[in-house]
Amino acid sequence: MAASGTGVSWKARLRCALLRGTPQGLQGAGRCASVDAAKSGHSRPGADNPIHSHSPGNSSVSFARVCAMQISFRGKKVVVTGASRGIGWSIALAFATEGADVAICARGAQGLEAAEVELRRHGGAVFAMPCDLAEASAPASFVAGAVKALDGIDILVNNASGIGMRDDESGWRAGIDVDLMATVRATQTAIPFMEKAGGGVIINISSISGFRAVPRTLPYAAVKAALINYTMGQGLALAPKRIRVNAIAPGSIEFPGGVWDNRKASDPQLYQRTLDGIPWGRFGTPEEIARVALFLASEMGSWVTGQTIVVDGGQLLASRTGPSATLPAS
């Protein structure tokens, strides 16, 4: 059934919305362009409210409008920590591609500058700030600077990780200061701005390590478990303020210069053992995490809060039936 006034079925519009930026979506770019052009056929402001999509007479129209329109982030203000490479970079790029104004931070100035240049190519406002989020004042300083530069904040993505792997003082300090406390501090800074604006979205990047015992990386696993619990608590506490809080728990993610790319050379046996423990048969990509972040931040996820979404090709399920190794995703 076609959506009224557009001649485009809701299934086609949903497919184009969800596959935008993927290889399948690029192959069908011509068809999706026609779908995008058909958006001008929408009428009656507010008619895309998903609450009203349950009646048979208007379900396809309303659902199509939600799917086609609400994946766009044009005009939204998105703040991403640890975003010069890997998962954080892919998330920032995905939002910029969908029209958002984006703020990013990272410790390395060179990588940050390159990321800023690429983000600006997509036409939105960009704010980039070098900072070490392990410093107690840095998260609040970055978020406040981003709010000023972008004139607001709609979405906060807490991605930065200290990758605390060794069971010693430095490993625990890196995990607690960056993964946990930087997330708490950035969130505490963002909440008043979101509350004043009438709502917002917070996404915390955890890990499947937070769901299981990982003796090899005790600090990393412990702080990622803490983030999962923090996400549940904040989701409950902030729901009345219309601020949704969710987390993503990636499995083993491979990208140039990342942990698993390095392990391929430094410890090929561990690399292969981990790969063999992933039912999907390959490591994940940062882009696959970014697409889940887009969903959680969009109106398509408007009733999702306090949840942790596992994105791992079945890796966590397999680990519960046999031994496997898990290292940080980023």
Task: Say which amino acid occupies 96.
Answer: A
Computed over its alpha carbons, how large is the radius of gyration of the chain?
Answer: 20
Known active-site residue 271: no
CB count in 10 Å sphere of residue 77 = 26
Q: Could you say which DSSP state residue 253 is in? A: B
Task: Say which amino acid occupies 276.
Answer: D
Q: Which residues contact 67 (CB under 8 A, 6 or more apart)?
A: 10, 13, 14, 17, 18, 300
Distance CA 224, CA 109 (A): 26
Query: Considering 89, 95, 220, 230, which one is annotated as catalytic?
Result: 220
Six token digits for residue 41: 């056929």
Helix (H, G, I), strand (E, B) or coil at 201: strand
Task: Say which amino acid occupies 92.
Answer: A
Q: How remote is the C-alpha of 297 from its chain's centroid?
A: 8
Q: Could you say which DSSP state residue 3 is in? A: P
Residues designated as active site: 220
